[in-house]
Amino acid sequence: MAATAIPIDTLPSINPATGQVLAHFEKTPPERVARAVLLARAAQKQWAKVPIRERCRRLRALRERMMGSRDELADTVVNETGKPRVEALFADLFVALDAAKYWSRNAAAALRTERVPHHSLAAKTKSGSLVYEPLGVIGIISSWNYPLAIPVSQIIPAVVAGNAVVCKSSDFTPKCGMLIERLFREAGFPQDLVAVVQGGAEVGQAVVEAAPDKVVFTGSVATGRRVAEACARKLIPTVLELGGKDAMIVLADADLQTTSSAAVWGSYTNCGQVCLSVERLLVEESVSQRFAELCAEKTKKLRLGPGNDSATDVGPLIRPQHVQRLMDLVEDARERGARVLCGGHPRPDLGPSFFEPTVIVNVDSNARLSQEETFGPILAMQTVKNADEAVRLANDSPFALAASVWTADKKKGEAIARQLRVGAVMVNDAISYFGIAEAPHGGCGASGWGRTHARAGLLEMVHRKYIDLDRLPRKEKPWWYRYGGELERAADAFLRFEFSGGIGAKLRNARGALKTLFRDHGL
């Protein structure tokens, strides 16, 4: 029997644990992306007229649809990413559900018109306000590592603010992308308001070429740079989340049992394929040996396997080629004097994309393992003399996404947190702030710019307009034409009245300042 031909215009949904192709999904031809943006723009014009409380009601319906479909959603995340099912529930499903819950309750207040008080005497006859208006169409180019949490938590604030969305989901997780579009449609959002386009880099490029009003990108530095350059040519504003090299600072007074468990989880969750992974472990000298021993002991107890096995702690990498890259990083560190305490090898007996959770110590600051984003299950540790050295090393990176500090002294932890050049710092926890709806997410440097989540992320989705109402509409303004020496003297008197120190100076210049208000313009 002849094999069934697979059309070339499809995307395979591949299980990373086995390499098995589970299904094929239609690619979006790049030429159809512009049409999707055009339809989204038409839908958005009507959607923007919908009262925000009705938009919030649709988010509640979306949450109900996600809850009702949570088993299918979790299974799909596991099948397409390989992560353990408990991680799909805690990270992907929880974050997506909580975003819908939070913004359904808080979007109206967050976008309410704000009064702008005026401090200047020259503006006291004016009433100012700040209003928030939708941008139009938001282009979202998302990643595969959290194929529900990341795009859904970005789409939700976009639509509740009155925008439409065209989202390119990852070509590694095409079924997740298909389910996202279906969820919004079944929750009663208008046709074409939320469109998911499927494909690789060519489709992402087509999203930018279609000129949405903003682009939100999550992915690698190299791809993010290309996205930023393409958007800059069209003056499209962007939000870029480009990954991290997060430092975990462990002080000598930290609880080593708890902190070592955090380091192991923070390095290996989602097989280390997390922008917020613990990638640089900086431990004070007096406890570094014991801490490394604890991390190695706990790592050896972890169960490596497919995500659909409930006993699995660590799943596979997303694709086989990532295994070789991790091997190269470990070898480079070894050549520079690092020592592997456990792991460090591929596990082809389990499947094509498995790599052992690895503890490696004495990692040189110049090693690739210290400089490049690892994005894999490697716990890389350096010993530091004190907190000052830890802060210096933590800040010595082009990445600046997040970090954590571990200490029994909360005041010391907060003081160190303030010295770290990152977008977020957790004291005595790691990574989980991503699941806190009120916490903004994003960094600077090679980690990108802009924010998602929280009110800061919501405000990325709107145009802020200042509106000024004059209370004396029939009064000509002092600074209007005609000019002359008398107005110059009055203007100088006004400056001295407004900005000179002391009540005496104000009184001496009050009469001259008033001449700016009561004068004949002569026009």
Q: Give catalytic residue positions.
A: 241, 275
H-helix or E-strand spanning residue 245: none
Distance CA 165, CA 40 (A): 7
DSSP states of 46-63: HHTTS-HHHHHHHHHHHH
Distance CA 416, CA 433 (A): 18
Closest CA to 430 of 272, 236, 302: 272
Rg (Cα) of the chain, in Å, rounded? Answer: 28
Distance CA 243, CA 477 (A): 52
H-helix or E-strand spanning residue 482: none
Closest CA to 281 of 341, 353, 347: 341
Contacts of 9 (CB under 8 A, 6+ apart): 26, 27, 29
- DSSP-derived letter for residue 92 is I
Distance CA 209, CA 516 (A): 52
Distance CA 373, CA 448 (A): 14
Distance CA 433, CA 440 (A): 9
